[in-house]
Structure 1
Amino acid sequence: MKLKLAFLVATALIAAPSFAAAQEKGGVINVATIGEPPTLDPMASTADLVGIVTQHIFETLYTFDKGWKTVPLLAESLPEISADGKTYVIKLRSGIKFHDGSDMASDDVVASLNRWVKVASRGKQAASFLDKIEATDASTVTITLKQPYAPLVSLLAFNNSAAIILPAEKQDEPMKEFIGTGPYMLKERKADQYIQLARFDGYKSRGGEADGYGGARHQYLDEIRFVPVPDANTRVEAAVSGQYDYIDQLPVESFAKVEGSSTVEPVVLKPFGYPVFVFNTAEGVAKDVAMRKAIRQALSMEDMLAAAFGSTDFYALDGNIYPKNFVWSTDAGVEGNYNVADPDGAKEAAKAAGYDGEKPIRILTSRQYEFHYKMAQVAAEYLKLAGFKVDMQVVDWATLTQRRADKGLWDIYITHSPFLPEPALIGSLAPSSPGWWDTPLRKQTVEAFSAEADPAKRLALWADVQKAMYEEIPYMKIGDFNAVAAKKKTIEGVEAAPWPYFWNASIKK
C-alpha cells in the first residue's frame, strides 16, 4: 500500500546523503531519551523507547524503506507468496552472525517466530491466522496460514513488539541474554544511568545505499550511549548546552530556543503522529461503552492540543485516524463523535449510564512526555465539569507501561503513536493489547480487513474498522502533531524518523 506523494515529501525517512566516503569512523555519541526502557526485550513491549534502543541490537526479517514499503533485512528477499495467499516462503541471507559468534539459520528463525507468537502482542495478533512455521532447509523458512493475512509482512517488519531473530537456544522468557544480529551489541547497562552499545565487528550489512530503515547499515561509531533524561525541561537545557549529541522528544515550545543555538539544530518530523487516550474496556468505570461515550462527549480535543503544543504550527485538529495525506484517511464514524466538548450533555449521559459520581476516572500519565501530562490536566478539568471524579496518577514512563498491563489499576492511559504504514500495526486492534478491546464488532471488522489482500477493498474495510472504533471507543484520537528533537551540528547521517536510529551516524571531525 503506497502513501500519497504529499506524505512522502513531508515525512519520508530520507536516506543518508551520499557522503558515506567522507564520514569519519570512530567516536561515541550520547543520546538523551525520555527515560529508562522497561525492558530490552522488544518482543515483550510496545513502548517506542524500547524499539529505539533495541533496533540497534536486534533485527527482523524485514523492515521499512524511506517510502514505508517493506524491504528485506535478515531475509534475502521479500517472501514468495502462494496464489491462495496462505503460504509464505522466506529465503534467509547467508553469513549472518549473532553477537555470540554463532551463525543464523532457519531453526533460529523458527524458534524466534514461535516465541514472538507467544510473547509479543503483535505476534498474538497474528497467531490465530497461523497454521505452522517450519524450517524447509537451513536457509529457508515456510509460514503456512489458515487463511490469508495481508498485514503479515508488515508485522514481521515492525520494530515494536518486534519479531526479532534470536539464537534458537536463547529463547528464554523473560530474556536473559541480549544476543542479536544488529550492528551494535549490548556492552553495559546501568539502570537509570545509561545503556552502552558497542560496534559488533561481525556485522554483515546489506549492500546498496541506506534507505530509511532499510539498505546499508554503516557502523561509523564505536559506541552509542542511551541516557535517560526524564524531565522535559532538563532535556531542553541539555540540548542547548550541547551536553548530548541527540536529544529525543523535546517540547514544541523549545523549538525557537533550539533553533537559536550555535551547537545544536532542531530535527522536526511533520506530521509525526497522534496522541491517544486508551480506555480499559475490561474492568472499571470505562468498561461500559456508554460511559466511554460520556467521557468522550465531555472533552475538548482542541483545548487539549492547544495546551500540549501551543501553536497550530505543531498540531492539527483531526478526528480521522490517518490524516488526509495518507491513503488510509477516512472520516468514517467521526462526525458528531470528535471534539464535542459538551460537559453538560456528558453529565446527563453519564447519569443515564448509571454513574453516581463516586468512582473516580483513573487517568494514568507521565511527565516524561510533557504533552501527555498537559492533555491530562485539561481532560481532568472538563471531566470535573461533567460531574466525574478524577484520579490523575502521574508516574514515570516505565511504571506506566507496567501498570497498564494490570486491568485493575486504571481507566484511561495516555500515549501516542506515529502514523504507521499499515493500520493492522495499531496496537489497540489486538485484544491482547492493554485496553483489551475484544468484541464481536472488533473481530468482524478487524479480521475482514486483515484477511483481504486487494488494496482497493482494504481501504473500504479499514473505514469499517475506524467506524467500529468510534462506535465502541477502545481509544480516542486527540489530533495530529509534529515531533521535535535536536542534534549537534557535528553529527552526520541522522535524519528525522519516528524511531531515531544511529547506525549511519558519524561525528564530523
Structure 2
Amino acid sequence: MRKNLTLSLILVLLISLIFSVNLFAQEKGGTLRYAMIDTPPSLDQQVVTSDLATIIAQHIFEGLYTFNSQYAPVPMLAEGSMVKEDGRLVTINLRQGVTFHNGKEMTSEDVVASLKRWGEFGVRGPVLFNYIEAVEANGSYAVDLHFSEPFSAWQSMLAFINGGPVILPSEIMENADERPISPEDYIGTGPYEFTRWDTGRFIQLSRYEDYAARSDQADGYGGERIAYFDELRFIPVSEVGTRINGLRAGDYDYAESMQGDLYEDLKADDRVNVLVNQGAQFGEVFFNQKQGIMTNKKLRQAILAAVDMEPVMQAAHGHPDLWDLNGSIMPEKTIWYSEAAIEKYSRGDAELARKLAEEAGYNGERIRYMATTSYQTMYDSSVVIAQQLSEAGFNIDLQIYDWATLASRRNDPEVWDLFYTWHGFVPDPILYTFLSPTYPGWWDTAKKRLLVNNFTQAMEQEERVEIWSELQEEIYDHVPILKTGDNYTYDIVVPEVKGFGETSLIWPKFWNIWFE
C-alpha cells in the first residue's frame, strides 16, 4: 500500500512539474525584434500587396477567412456560411463579440463597408467583384453576397490577406478610396494593435488585451491565436550581413531573407535556427502562343521533353534544402497537389525532343529566348535551360535584358518566342497568371476555357481538386509554360524563440510564438 502511495505521489509530482514547465515555457512577455529588408509603403492591406506590409499587418487586421496549414480556406471572423440558389447567393454568418482595437464590436455594417471598399479600390478585389452584383447586411451578424454566376473560389479570395479584404470599422472604410489609409486608421481585430511608426527606425505593435480568439485548434493561419509577446517591433535593416550579425549579437530575434550561399554556414551556427519558408515559388518559361514559331504545340512539347530541371535548380538555388524537383504545379503540402501528367516533367530526353521537333517540322529556325540579369536566379536558370536546348538541336538566341525592358518587351508578340520569369506562391490555382488569356503567352483555347469555367463554377472543394488535376494534365499536353521546380526562401531566428517548426508559413506570424 505504501509503495503504491509513493508511486502515486511521484506520478503527481512529475505531472505537476511537466505542467509548470510548459506554463513557464509559454509565459507572456518580452518584445520580439524583427529585422526586415526595408520599410513597407503602408500597412493598408486592401490596396497594398507588399509582402513587407503583410508580414506586419496580418497581426493587426483579420479577414472573414484565412488559410490552414494545407492552404485550404477556413473561417476567421466568419462563423460559417451557407450557399444558396445554385451558388448565386452566399450568406456568411459572423462571429459575435469580436471587437476592434477601438473597443467597437464588429458587425455586418463594418463587413459590408470593408468589402465594398476592397471590391472597388482593392488590388485583388475586382477579381472577385466581377462576379458579385451586391453585398448586403443580413441583420447585425450576417452578410449576403449576391453573385451574377457561381464563383467557387470566393472563400480563397476572401482568405488571401495580401492585398485582401481585411475588416475595418465602417466609419473608416466608407471614406476610404484607392489611396492607403493613414496610420491612425490602422484599427483591426487582430491579436496585436498598431501603436507606433518611427519612420526609418521601427514599426511597433502591442498585444491587444481584449482580443477575441477563436476556440478551435491552431492550424496554419487558422484557429486560436495567442499573443504571447508584449510587443512586436519591425526594424528595417537593408544589409543581409547586418541582419545576421545583429541577430548573433542579440540586437534582433528574427531576421528575414537570407542569401542561398549562406545556408550551410547558418545551419551549422548554434546561435541561430534556420526557418525555410513553406511558400514555394517556381521559375517558369512562357511560350508565345499568339504569333511565331511557338504557336506549334508539337514544338512546345519537344522543348518540354528536352529539359532536365535538376541542374537548372542546382545552378539557381544551390543547397538542396532550398528547392524541390516537383512536377505538380502546386506544392506537395497543399490540397491542390496532383501527380497528373508529371511523368512529362524534367525528362531531359534529347532524343525524344529531336523526334518531336522533327514531327513539328522544325528546321533550325531561331528561337528568341528573353532572360534577365536583374534577378540572379532567373539568369542562372535561363543559361542552363538554353544550353540544354542547344544541345538538343534547337537554335536558341538567348537575349539578356534588365527586368524593366523584358517586362515591356513581353507585351509585344512580334519580338519573342520564350521568356523566363517566376511565380510566387498562391493558395488557390485560380490566381495563377498563366491562366489569364491576356497575360503574355496568351493561352486561350476552347478546352482551357471550358476547364477554367468548370473550375470556377464547381462549389464543392473535392470537385475543384479533381478539375484542377484535369487542368494540370492539359498544361502538360498543351505546354503554355515550363515549370522549373519549387524553390524556397529562408529566415533565421534565435533559439530562444519557440513555437516554430523547421519551416515558416508564407508570411511568418508571431501569434502562438513565445520566448522560452
Please give the TM-score of this superposition, normalised by the length of structure 1. Answer: 0.76
Q: Which residue of 2 aligns with 1:33?
A: 36
Q: Which residue of 2 aligns with 1:477?
A: 483
- Pick from 359, 366, 372: which aligns with 1:363? 372
Q: Which of the pair has more CA radius of gyration?
A: 2
Q: Deviations over 1:431-488 (max 9, x none)?
A: 6878776665543221211211345543432123223434565554211345532211
Does residue 245 of the first structure (1) align with residue 240 of the second (2)? no
Label 1:259 to 1:389 Cα distance change in 2 as closer, same or farther (>3 A). Answer: closer
Partners of 2:453 and 2:309 in 1: CA distance: 30
Kept in 2, the 8 Å contact 1:30–1:245? The answer is: yes
Kept in 2, the 8 Å contact 1:53–1:226? The answer is: yes
| Post-superposition offset of 1:215 | 2.5
User: What amino acid is aligned across from residue 273 of structure 1 in structure 2?
Assistant: A
Greater mean deviation of Cα atoms: 60-69 or 293-302: 293-302
Q: CA RMSD in A?
A: 4.5
- Pick from 459, 477, 484: which aligns with 1:453? 459
Partners of 2:438 and 2:163 in 1: CA distance: 12
- Pick from 304, 307, 310: which aligns with 1:302? 310
Partners of 1:35 and 1:382 in 2: CA distance: 38
Kept in 1, the 8 Å contact 2:217–2:223? The answer is: yes
Kept in 2, the 8 Å contact 1:289–1:472? The answer is: no
Greater mean deviation of Cα atoms: 459-468 or 238-247: 238-247
User: What amino acid is aligned across from residue 429 of structure 2 in structure 1?
Assistant: P
| Post-superposition offset of 1:142 | 0.7
Partners of 1:241 and 1:335 in 2: CA distance: 48
Label 1:474 to 1:241 Cα distance change in 2 as closer, same or farther (>3 A). Answer: farther
Partners of 2:461 and 2:211 in 1: CA distance: 37
Greater mean deviation of Cα atoms: 497-506 or 455-464: 455-464
Partners of 2:293 and 2:111 in 1: CA distance: 40
Does residue 423 of the first structure (1) align with residue 425 of the second (2)? no
User: What amino acid is aligned across from residue 495 of structure 2 in structure 1?
Assistant: K
Q: Which residue of 2 aligns with 1:171?
A: 176
Partners of 2:382 and 2:247 in 1: CA distance: 26
Partners of 1:48 and 1:256 in 2: CA distance: 26
- Pick from 387, 397, 407: which aligns with 1:388? 397
Kept in 2, the 8 Å contact 1:264–1:488? The answer is: yes
Kept in 2, the 8 Å contact 1:383–1:390? The answer is: no
Q: Deviations over 1:288-309 (max 9, x none)?
A: 6879878867755222211233
In the TM superposition, what are the counterparts of 1:211-250 in structure 2 within 5 Å?
A: 211-229=219-237, 235-250=243-258
| Post-superposition offset of 1:80 | 2.0
| Post-superposition offset of 1:500 | 0.8
Q: Which residue of 2 aligns with 1:318?
A: 326
Q: Which residue of 2 aligns with 1:51?
A: 54
- Pick from 56, 65, 89: which aligns with 1:62? 65
- Pick from 456, 468, 482: which aligns with 1:462? 468
Does residue 276 of the first structure (1) align with residue 278 of the second (2)? no
Aligned with 1:214: secondary structure? coil
Label 1:383 to 1:103 Cα distance change in 2 as closer, same or farther (>3 A). Answer: farther
In the TM superposition, what are the counterparts of 1:307-346 in structure 2 within 5 Å?
A: 307-322=315-330, 328-332=336-340, 334=342, 336=344, 338=346, 340=348
Kept in 2, the 8 Å contact 1:302–1:339? The answer is: no
Q: What is the number of residues matched between the two proteins?
A: 480
Label 1:474 to 1:110 Cα distance change in 2 as closer, same or farther (>3 A). Answer: farther
Q: Deviations over 1:299-328 (max 9, x none)?
A: 552222112333444433232213566653
Structure 1, unaligned runs of 5 or more: 1-17
Label 1:60 to 1:242 Cα distance change in 2 as closer, same or farther (>3 A). Answer: same
Q: Percent identity?
A: 32
| Post-superposition offset of 1:430 | 5.0
Partners of 2:251 and 2:139 in 1: CA distance: 50
Partners of 1:434 and 1:472 in 2: CA distance: 16
User: What amino acid is aligned across from residue 370 of structure 2 in structure 1?
Assistant: I
Kept in 1, the 8 Å contact 2:369–2:419? The answer is: no
Partners of 2:291 and 2:192 in 1: CA distance: 43
Label 1:330 to 1:216 Cα distance change in 2 as closer, same or farther (>3 A). Answer: closer
- Pick from 41, 45, 67: which aligns with 1:42? 45
Aligned with 2:138: secondary structure? strand
| Post-superposition offset of 1:256 | 3.6
| Post-superposition offset of 1:46 | 4.8
Label 1:387 to 1:259 Cα distance change in 2 as closer, same or farther (>3 A). Answer: closer
Q: Deviations over 1:339-385 (max 9, x none)?
A: 6586996999999699867x772537546xxx556435645766898
| Post-superposition offset of 1:230 | 5.1
Please give the TM-score of this superposition, normalised by the length of structure 2. Answer: 0.75
Kept in 2, the 8 Å contact 1:449–1:462? The answer is: yes
Does residue 71 of the first structure (1) align with residue 74 of the second (2)? yes
- Pick from 490, 503, 507: which aligns with 1:499? 507
Kept in 2, the 8 Å contact 1:34–1:229? The answer is: yes
Label 1:87 to 1:342 Cα distance change in 2 as closer, same or farther (>3 A). Answer: same
Q: Which residue of 2 aligns with 1:3?
A: none
In the TM superposition, what are the counterparts of 1:255-274 in structure 2 within 5 Å?
A: 255-268=263-276, 272-274=279-281
Q: Deviations over 1:130-177 (max 9, x none)?
A: 232211122210112233333222221122332212333243202222
| Post-superposition offset of 1:29 | 1.9
User: What amino acid is aligned across from residue 25 of structure 1 in structure 2?
Assistant: K
Partners of 2:42 and 2:482 in 1: CA distance: 27
Q: Deviations over 1:182-232 (max 9, x none)?
A: 233444556765443344455433345533312232233233233445555
Partners of 2:100 and 2:152 in 1: CA distance: 30
Kept in 1, the 8 Å contact 2:207–2:231? The answer is: yes
Aligned with 1:388: secondary structure? strand
Kept in 2, the 8 Å contact 1:315–1:480? The answer is: yes
Greater mean deviation of Cα atoms: 212-221 or 378-387: 378-387
Kept in 2, the 8 Å contact 1:276–1:475? The answer is: no
Structure 2, unaligned runs of 5 or more: 1-20
| Post-superposition offset of 1:43 | 3.3
Kept in 2, the 8 Å contact 1:122–1:427? The answer is: no
Q: Which residue of 2 aligns with 1:15?
A: none
User: What amino acid is aligned across from residue 329 of structure 2 in structure 1?
Assistant: I
Kept in 1, the 8 Å contact 2:89–2:147? The answer is: yes
Greater mean deviation of Cα atoms: 56-65 or 376-385: 376-385
Partners of 1:27 and 1:152 in 2: CA distance: 38
